[in-house]
Copies of this chain bind each other. A is one copy, B any other.
Amino acid sequence: MEVYSEKQLGILFVAERLFADKGFHGTSVRDIAQEADVNIAMISYYFGSKEKLLEAVFRYRMNASRSFIQELVQNDTMGPMEKLYALIDRFVNKLLNEQNFQCIMNREQMNRDQSPVKDLIWDLKVEMMGLIQPIVTKAQEDGTFYKDVDVVLLMSTLFGTIHQVMPAKSFIRSEPEFAHMPEDEFREYLKIRVSAYLKKLFKAILTHEF
């Protein structure tokens, strides 16, 4: 659990944004150094290499991701649907707040060749499935959820829909009613809309209620 100086964090955030905007290979260390207003050599100096910098971005964001589900899962006062609702809320909130990072992860998970970053992504996925699956399975066993539900694909729907929201954002924004809404407000509006939509979807498919 590395601790970064302010300067290092500056590089990290700039890198995250540029990697999101133009892709890893589309971004040069020069670009990053310039926008972060540091010497080019600093990037290799601080992070070892461009690739290690990407890895650092991942570790930085993932450490936050990791904990936030675990605490949820261990809470035993909530019913399974409540837990899923909370999960959806958190995911929607997190992914829309971390659009740049999600964008990078989205891209990197598609790369064919193995890499430290892909390993990190894989680990996170396994971990997440390991936490969520029991919630559903347990609820299926005690009859709260229907049995014939494809949990793996349901997760794909969860992530896929949220990820798709980002490219679809400009599409939704083109509707006249959002023309003059400020970006922040629009993002909050989106969070609510997406969250409500996903909850409905999950409830329908898992409980046949509406």
Assess A150 versus B193: contact at CB under 8 Å? Given A23-B24, A159-B160, A163-B160.
yes
Once the chains are docked, how many angstroms separate the CA of A134 from the CA of B152? 31
Once the chains are docked, how many angstroms separate the CA of A163 from the CA of B168? 14
Whether A117 sits at the interface, judged by CB under 8 Å, is no
- Tally of contact residues, A, Cβ under 8 A: 46
Instruction: With both chains docked as a complex, state the minimum distance between the C-beta of A197 and any C-beta of chain B, in angstroms.
Output: 5
Verify B109–A110 contact, CB threshold 8 A: no
Nearest B residue to A201 via CB reads: B205
Those of A148-180 within 8 Å (CB) of chain B: 150, 152-153, 155-157, 159-168, 171-172
Those of A68-126 within 8 Å (CB) of chain B: 103, 106-107, 109-113, 122, 125-126
Of the candidates A153, A155, A193, the one having the most CB atoms from chain B within 10 angstroms of its own CB is A153
Whether A21 sits at the interface, judged by CB under 8 Å, is yes
Assess A201 versus B111: contact at CB under 8 Å? Given A24-B26, A25-B26.
no
Verify A112–B20 contact, CB threshold 8 A: yes
11 more contacts with CB within 8 A, not counting A23-B111, A122-B171, are: A22-B25, A26-B111, A106-B106, A129-B171, A152-B168, A153-B194, A156-B160, A156-B165, A156-B168, A205-B205, A208-B210
Once the chains are docked, how many angstroms separate the CA of A111 from the CA of B24? 11
Once the chains are docked, how many angstroms separate the CA of A139 from the CA of B69? 39
Once the chains are docked, how many angstroms separate the CA of A130 from the CA of B140? 39
Assess A20 versus B164: contact at CB under 8 Å? Given A204-B205, A205-B200.
no
Verify A112–B21 contact, CB threshold 8 A: yes
| Contact pick for A20, options B110, B152, B205, CB 8 Å | B110
